[in-house]
Amino acid sequence: MNENADLSLKIVIDSNELNWEPSPIPGVDRKQLDRFGGELGRATSIVRYAPGSSYCEHKHSGGEEILVLSGVFSDESGNYPAGSYLRNPPHCAHMPFSKDGCALFVKSKHFHPVDQDSVRVNTNTSTWHQGLVPGLSVMPLDDFEGIATALVRWEANTIFKPHTHPGGEEIFVLEGVFHDEHGTYTAGTWIRSPRYSRHAPFTKSEGALIYVKTGHLDNPVPHVIHGV
């Protein structure tokens, strides 16, 4: 099963308008943003755990990246409240659950096989760094061979210069309203822009907080896409 699998296309989805779909695990629903292959394929999703729901122990052959959007997500290594960023490397195994329920932004099976770092970041307490223009703050989350992941906070009425992303760009709007010359993107909007896409982003009075990943659409790993 493929969903938004043509990486040459720009995709914009307001996840608030998507219906929740059941996963193979009772109590765990999801909104699929992209998917390459079947249940074991590479995917980007918003996942919702009902209170008391859990997965049996399972392995992620291509790794898994999680940003906790609400509630508390847990596994045998700890409890992760909203704002937690988790990065589980290829071939890791865990047994996730949520006592009181949670919602997550999840990217699975997209890591390079030699990318073996495990990362845990509490974005509620981590340091923000000055961005390239006034009004822009950046919190790096991960960086591997040109693939960078970060949170970016835009103050009201911040303007960034036009620029190009040779390896593509993916954005998930967490708070506020994000803009560029192509459109207006409210909280819950997911944007995947292809290689060499170009834009001039800005904010208006609301400001914005966004999750950003760049460089990962340049040369996707074939074995990860096919989930083997």
- The residue ranges of DSSP E strands in 155-200, in sequence order, are 163-165, 169-180, 183-186, 189-193, 197-199
Q: Quick check: 176 pLDDT over 80?
A: yes
pLDDT digits (tens, 9 = 90+) for 20-66: 999 988 999 999 999 887 666 688 999 999 999 988 766 667 778 99
- Whether residue 175 sits in one domain with residue 145: yes
- The residue ranges of DSSP E strands in 95-161, in sequence order, are 97-98, 102-108, 119-122, 129-130, 136-144, 147-154
Distance from C-alpha of 33 to C-alpha of 216, rounded to nearest angstrom: 16
| Domain harbouring 186, CATH code | 2.60.120.10
- Whether residue 168 sits in one domain with residue 137: yes
Predicted local confidence at residue 213, as pLDDT: 95
- Whether residue 62 sits in one domain with residue 27: yes
pLDDT digits (tens, 9 = 90+) for 186-200: 999 999 999 999 999
Q: Quick check: 133 pLDDT over 90?
A: yes
In a domain, 224, yes or no: no
How many CB atoms lie under 10 A from the CB of residue 154? 27
In a domain, 220, yes or no: no
Q: Name the pLDDT band for 220 (thresholds 50, 70, 90).
A: low
Q: Quick check: 225 pLDDT over 50?
A: no
How many CB atoms lie under 10 A from the CB of residue 82? 16
Its sign, for the CA torsion 106, 113, 139, 133, is negative
Q: Quick check: 85 pLDDT over 80?
A: yes
Query: Is the pTM here over 0.85, yes or no?
Result: yes
Distance from C-alpha of 181 to C-alpha of 202, rounded to nearest angstrom: 9
- Total domains in the chain come to 2
Token output for 15: 């996840």
Paired residues of 68 in beta bridges:
104
Pair 112, 82: CB distance under 8 Å: no
Of 54, 86, 120, the residue at which a domain comes to its end is 120
Predicted local confidence at residue 224, as pLDDT: 39
Rounded mean pLDDT, 106-126: 85
> What is the span of the domain harbouring residue 26?
2-9+17-120
The values of phi and psi at residue 24, to 5°, are: -65, -10
